[in-house]
């Protein structure tokens, strides 16, 4: 059932308004905080208000403008989009609170919070995009809005990272645009509301080329190897930005784009016939393992996190590429599972950096006793990535392994299990260093400010909740299932 409802357009617009207000508020700290937080809250409320309907199967749509017949900006909140929007607006609230604590004494806070809001605005825009054009528009805007955040410190290193970032993502964006136009030319529409709009009539070669084009475009942000180069470099950004980049906005938009390409542009049946997804799955499998192996050798905490992100994102890509319902479930729920666990880790990284100034893992000796709650949250996230049952990561691992068997590609079940061992190899040493190595500085128990600790603990709690039960408030597993059912025509 489709219902025209302005809320799908208001949700992205709120952050836009927030950005404008933050810029207008100039140097008034109070008003900047007030706008940031109330916009985050308002958006969460609006998205959540659509949730009961979405769970009943209602799809909210809203056409904003039409440039030429059939081509325009339109929003549509289907199950997949809703899922992504719920995750990103929940995390935006957490990140905003955290950023306020983290950026306390930084210069250029107006620019920071303004663009921060814009980023989230565009993320929800991507989630609710009804067609490829809208998707592209927000995808590209996101690239541009993130740039000032990446180079926020304005050190030569940051500027260099910013250039790399732009070079990669703008090229990717160009591919997406090319793919979108090509799709329009082939299918006569760009809508994402169907389980596939292309047909075999277009020819095998053309379709393969188009697939490569779209996946390469989205794959840059989803950091599929060898398109991942920008991600570790972009780690120079302030930590809340890294969190946003890695968990909520940029990379997830890429992964989301891959899902949309596979499920809504091509469709499962067509891809099965085309056979290109085997290649994508292989690429994702290699990325999962290779990135994890590289991560083991990183001593800088944020760089290790970055390579872990690259590995984890490919879980989503792999899940989608396996073209089986169970693997698809894994791909979709992993958007949430990875987001919450990874953002916890970035919050931890930021808190440690702010409180102790330490950024290298070997310096963390005994830090678990100095910041017990922070490192406790980290432990929860780490166990989730390793895939210990009852933690969120296990759900992904379980469904993805089953999905690999379901699509008769048991090798990927082994990849999943190997990856969880690799995860153990690079997360457990950190826990070991933090809790079991001297020097102990017990007397100096000193946690980060509550604005930073609070969101960290909340996210860690979500990691546990997501792993324990399917009925987490506001994080509906049912939506992921609805999306899978729609895509596979079940």
Closest distance to other proteins from the beta carbon of 333 (Å): 10
How many CB atoms within 10 Å of residue 451?
16
In angstroms, give the least distance from the CB of 407 to other proteins.
11
User: Nearest approach, Cβ of 33 to other proteins (angstroms)?
Assistant: 34
Nearer to other proteins, 166 or 332 (CB): 332
Rounded least distance, CB 201 to other proteins, Å:
36
Rounded least distance, CB 402 to other proteins, Å? 6
Q: How far is the CB of 174 from other proteins (least distance, A)?
A: 41
Binding stretches for other proteins (CB under 8 A): 383, 386-390, 395, 397-399, 401-402, 405-406, 413-414, 417, 420-421, 424, 428, 435-436, 468-471, 477, 481
For other proteins, the closer CB: 48 or 425 = 425
| Residue nearer to other proteins on the CB measure, 188 or 389 | 389
- Least distance from other proteins to the Cβ atom of residue 296, Å: 14
- For the four alpha carbons of 328, 405, 207 and 172, in that order, the dihedral sign comes to positive
Nearest to 476 by CA among 466, 490, 488: 466
Closest CB to other proteins among 349 and 402? 402
Tokens read off for 23: 């810029």
Q: Which is nearer to other proteins, 283 or 395 (CB)?
A: 395
Q: Which residues contact 361 (CB under 8 A, 6 or more apart)?
A: 298, 299, 300, 301, 304, 429, 430, 433
Judge if the upstream peptide bond of residue 439 is cis by omega within 30 degrees of 0: yes
DSSP letter assigned to residue 200: G
The answer to whether 324 and 403 are in contact (CB under 8 A) is yes
Give dist(CA 468, CA 377) in Å, integer: 16
Which helix (H) or strand (E) covers residue 376, if one does? helix 372-386
User: Which residue's CB is nearer to other proteins, number 364 or number 435?
Assistant: 435
The phi and psi torsions of 64 (rounded to 5 degrees) equal -85, -65
Q: How far is the CB of 210 from other proteins (least distance, A)?
A: 34
- Minimum CB distance to other proteins smaller for 175 or for 477: 477
Instruction: Note whether 399 and 329 are within 8 A (CB).
Output: yes
DSSP annotation of 71 reads E
SS3 content of the chain, % helix, strand, coil (to 5): 75, 5, 20
Burial bucket for residue 362 (CB in 10 Å: 0-12, 13-18, 19+)? exposed
Residue 200 or 414 having the CB closest to other proteins: 414
CA dihedral for 170, 176, 179, 181, sign (positive or negative): negative
């Amino acid at each position: 059932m489709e219902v025209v409802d302005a809320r799908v357009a208001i949700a992205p617009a709120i952050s836009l308004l927030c950005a404008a207000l933050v810029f207008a508020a100039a140097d008034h700290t109070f008003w900047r905080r007030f706008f940031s937080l109330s916009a985050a809250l308002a958006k969460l409320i609006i998205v959540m208000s659509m949730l009961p309907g979405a769970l009943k199967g209602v799809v909210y749509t809203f056409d904003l403008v039409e440039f030429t017949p059939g081509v325009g900006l339109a929003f549509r909140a289907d199950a997949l989009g809703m899922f992504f929007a719920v995750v990103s607006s929940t995390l935006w609230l957490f990140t905003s609170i955290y950023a306020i604590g983290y950026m306390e004494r930084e210069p250029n806070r107006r620019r920071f919070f303004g663009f921060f809001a814009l980023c989230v605005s565009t993320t929800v825009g991507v989630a609710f995009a009804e067609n490829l054009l809208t998707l592209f528009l927000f995808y590209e805007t996101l690239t541009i809005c993130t740039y000032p955040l990446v180079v926020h410190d304005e050190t030569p290193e940051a500027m260099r990272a910013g250039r790399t970032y732009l070079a990669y993502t703008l090229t990717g964006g160009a591919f997406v645009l090319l793919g979108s136009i090509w799709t329009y030319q082939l299918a006569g529409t760009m809508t994402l509301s169907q389980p596939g709009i292309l047909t075999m009539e277009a020819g095998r070669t053309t379709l393969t080329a188009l697939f490569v084009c779209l996946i390469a475009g989205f794959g840059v942000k989803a950091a599929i190897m060898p398109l991942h180069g920008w991600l570790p470099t972009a780690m120079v950004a302030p930590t809340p930005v890294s969190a946003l980049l890695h968990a909520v906005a940029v990379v997830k938009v890429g992964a989301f784009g891959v899902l949309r390409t596979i499920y809504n542009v091509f469709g499962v049946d067509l891809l099965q016939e085309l056979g290109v997804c085997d290649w994508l799955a292989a690429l994702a499998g290699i990325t999962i393992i290779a990135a994890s192996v590289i991560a083991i050798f990183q001593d800088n905490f944020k760089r290790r996190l970055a390579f872990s992100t690259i590995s984890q994102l490919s879980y989503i890509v792999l899940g989608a590429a396996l073209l089986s319902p169970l693997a698809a479930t894994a791909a979709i729920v992993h958007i949430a599972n990875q987001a919450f666990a990874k953002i916890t880790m970035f919050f931890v990284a930021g808190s440690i950096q702010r409180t102790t100034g330490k950024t290298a893992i070997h310096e963390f000796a005994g830090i678990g006793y100095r910041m017990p709650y922070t490192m406790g949250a980290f432990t929860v996230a780490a166990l989730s990535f390793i895939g210990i049952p009852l933690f969120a990561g296990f759900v992904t691992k379980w469904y993805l392994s089953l999905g690999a068997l379901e699509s008769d590609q048991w090798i990927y079940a082994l990849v999943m299990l190997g990856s969880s061992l690799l995860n153990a190899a690079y997360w457990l040493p950190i826990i070991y260093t933090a809790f079991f190595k001297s020097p102990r500085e017990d007397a100096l128990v000193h946690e980060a400010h509550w604005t930073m600790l609070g969101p960290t603990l909340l996210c860690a709690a979500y990691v546990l909740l997501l792993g324990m039960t399917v009925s987490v408030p506001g994080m509906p597993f049912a939506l992921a299932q609805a999306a899978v059912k729609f895509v596979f025509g079940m």
